[in-house]
């Protein structure tokens, strides 16, 4: 099933423009809950939400192409903080909206009780593969959030993700839901494209959203999945993967990556011990 199959369900929803979506549910500090579903389950979910949700609509389009490039230190500090569940974790990435050629440099900080704070800087799409023009912004964001500074060391592109995203606004709870399909990950020459996989993410100020409750009633529970960490763990078999092992076994390990799977020296795994 492709995203085209979702069009009838999305067509039944009222639209919302980007400016209104940001105004009503920007949620730069938020709680995220992620669910992994088969794409075949999405039309039923969307039909249930149609009376209560509005879908982001830009010039008649309701599903958009995204590309994210994730950056990390040579010792993979960002990855290892997540793998070992360090209290203050961070991600640095560029996100390009391929349909509009808009790009942002983003720093995401994981805090107490699952809260997420995101810092964003408008960025040139041509600079999407480097943090050099925005390195000062990255360091200031990490310092502001009390994450140990990286002392100006290198941040290199490590992983590229591509996917298609649909965004819903739930006005009553001022929450957002994103639905990602056609996901792929690239690390070096290796690529992973799980078939029929969708990632549904709810973004709320704190309390569970109506979508969370619907999924819980159907027996679907939040999954530990990170586009960066889970994707890199699926492509780098030498890395520690304890937080995502169940998700990897259930949804990724049966998928064979295209190209050689990197297996770099395991000194990186010991860097956060």
Q: What is the pLDDT of residues 61-99, one digit of tens each?
A: 999 999 999 999 999 999 999 999 887 889 999 999 999
Residue with the bigger pLDDT between 186 and 267: it is: 186
Task: Please choose, from the candidates 191, 198, 201, 232, the residue with its C-alpha nearest in 3D space to the C-alpha of residue 81.
Answer: 232
Would you state the pLDDT for residue 29?
60
Q: What is the pLDDT of residues 34-62, one digit of tens each?
A: 999 999 999 999 999 999 899 999 999 99
Q: Is 219 left (phi over 0), alpha (psi -120 to 50) or beta?
A: left
Q: What is the pLDDT of residues 184-193, one digit of tens each?
A: 999 999 999 9
CA pair distance 83, 72, nearest whole angstrom = 14
CA pair distance 135, 94, nearest whole angstrom = 12
Under 8 Å CB-to-CB from 237, ≥6 apart: which residues? 261, 263
CA pair distance 182, 95, nearest whole angstrom = 16
Which of the 8 DSSP states describes residue 255?
S
Cα 158 to Cα 74, 79, 112: the distances in Å are 9, 10, 26
**CATH H-level, domain 27-255: superfamily:** VTC, catalytic tunnel domain (3.20.100.30)
**Do 128 and 96 meet the contact criterion of CB atoms below 8 Å apart?**
yes
Q: What is the pLDDT of residues 122-156, one digit of tens each?
A: 999 999 999 999 999 999 998 888 786 675 689 99
String of DSSP letters for 176-235: EEEEEEEEEEEETTEEE--TTEEEEEEEESSSPPHHHHHHHHTT-------TTHHHHHHH
CA pair distance 143, 149, nearest whole angstrom = 6
């Amino acid at each position: 099933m492709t995203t085209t199959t979702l069009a009838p369900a999305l067509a039944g929803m009222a639209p919302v423009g980007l400016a209104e979506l940001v105004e009503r549910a920007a949620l730069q500090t938020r709680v995220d809950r992620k669910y992994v579903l088969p794409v075949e389950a999405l039309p039923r979910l969307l039909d249930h939400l149609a009376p209560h949700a509005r879908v982001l609509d830009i010039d008649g389009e309701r599903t958009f192409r995204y590309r994210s490039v994730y950056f990390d230190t040579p010792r993979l500090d960002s990855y290892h903080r997540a793998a070992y569940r360090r209290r203050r974790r961070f991600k640095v990435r560029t996100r390009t909206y391929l349909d509009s050629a808009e790009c942002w440099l983003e720093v995401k900080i994981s805090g107490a009780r699952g809260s997420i704070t995101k810092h964003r800087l408008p960025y040139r799409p041509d600079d999407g593969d480097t943090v050099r023009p925005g390195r000062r912004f990255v360091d200031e964001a990490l310092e502001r959030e009390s994450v140990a500074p990286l002392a100006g060391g290198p941040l290199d592109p490590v992983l590229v993700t591509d996917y298609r995203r649909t965004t819903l606004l739930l006005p009553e709870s001022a929450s957002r839901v994103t639905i990602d399909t056609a996901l792929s990950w690239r690390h070096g020459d290796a690529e992973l494209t799980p078939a029929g996989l969708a990632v549904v993410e709810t973004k709320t100020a704190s309390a569970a959203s109506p979508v969370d409750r619907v999924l819980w009633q159907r027996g679907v529970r939040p999954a530990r999945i990170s586009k960066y960490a889970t994707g890199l763990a699926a492509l780098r078999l030498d890395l520690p993967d304890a937080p995502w092992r169940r998700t990897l076994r259930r949804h990724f390990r049966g998928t064979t990556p295209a190209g050689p799977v990197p297996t770099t020296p395991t000194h990186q795994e010991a860097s956060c011990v």
